[in-house]
């Protein structure tokens, strides 16, 4: 069985790492460059960097910040926020990205998924999906969760896979920042319906939540932010706990 991945996420706004609850009430969580270095030392398997206001502010990802973070890393690095073209992605790749994450731009222009997959390879393209339960249906949201769409989450993910997305980063807005656990029901449903890796995001609060998501769903990785940023769950301790439950992780 492939090792399960533990992925810290740096949500960056105005050059600082921030974290909120249900995508609002953002609080400062530290310097992204310093945090990146710490996570590389602690044994994180990958790092995700999301410029969370780039799309809303209609600008690209901050390249200099990306370069500074990349210099601290010896692990795969995924970057998202404000990517709307192959040229944007190429600039980030040249700045140190191993993968790019697209979200709002892919919904507005699904052809972008196909273009990126053809230009760089399927493994380069991570589709981030922010989902929220609305009248009993999981609906895709854009612009950092500010804008609801008419797309049902599972339908959109299936389409994205067919266009060339190589991985899905699925964030439950209802669970995000609550520390009440991942949305295991939705995550398992999605993981069973597609043939590409799924990263669980939204809701991690305890080590047991990571154990649950790996034992109860078919996800390949679990992503979290505040529990790592504020030292509530050290990554080495988390991996030891997962091993106790016979969940394969990289040392």
Would you name the residues annotated as active-site residues? Answer: 11, 130
Place of tokens 């991570």: 126
What percentage of the chain's residues is helix, strand, coil (to nearest 5)? 35, 30, 35
Whether the Cβ atoms of residue 17 and residue 32 lie closer than 8 Å to each other:
yes
Count other Cβ atoms within 10 Å, centred on residue 208. 12
Count other Cβ atoms within 10 Å, centred on residue 251. 8
- Token output for 29: 């969580």
CA dist 40 to 21, 32, 70, 185, Å? 26, 12, 11, 31
CA within 13 Å, CB half, 36: 27
Place of tokens 């393209």: 125
Distance from chain centroid for Cα 110: 19
């Amino acid at each position: 069985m492939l090792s399960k991945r533990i992925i810290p996420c740096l949500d960056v706004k105005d050059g600082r790492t921030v974290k909120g609850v249900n995508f609002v009430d953002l609080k400062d969580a530290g310097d992204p460059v310093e945090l990146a270095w710490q996570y590389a030392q602690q044994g994180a398997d990958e790092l995700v960097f999301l410029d969370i206001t780039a799309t809303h502010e209609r600008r690209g990802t901050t390249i200099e910040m990306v370069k500074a973070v990349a210099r601290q890393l010896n692990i795969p690095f995924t970057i998202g926020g404000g990517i709307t073209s192959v040229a944007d992605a190429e600039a980030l790749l040249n700045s140190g990205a191993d993968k790019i994450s697209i979200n709002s731009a892919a919904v507005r222009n699904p052809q972008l998924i196909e273009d990126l997959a053809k230009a760089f390879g399927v493994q380069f393209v991570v589709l981030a999906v922010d989902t929220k339960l609305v009248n009993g249906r999981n609906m895709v949201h854009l612009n950092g969760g500010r804008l609801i769409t008419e797309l049902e989450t599972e339908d959109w993910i299936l389409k994205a896979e067919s266009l060339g997305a190589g991985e899905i980063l699925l964030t439950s807005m209802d669970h995000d920042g609550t520390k009440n656990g991942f949305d295991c029901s939705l995550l398992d449903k999605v993981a069973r319906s597609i043939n590409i890796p799924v990263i669980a995001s939204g809701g991690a609060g305890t080590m047991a939540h990571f154990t649950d998501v790996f034992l109860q769903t078919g996800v390949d990785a679990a992503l979290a932010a505040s529990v790592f940023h504020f030292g509530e769950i050290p990554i080495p301790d988390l991996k030891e706990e997962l091993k106790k439950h016979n969940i394969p992780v990289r040392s």
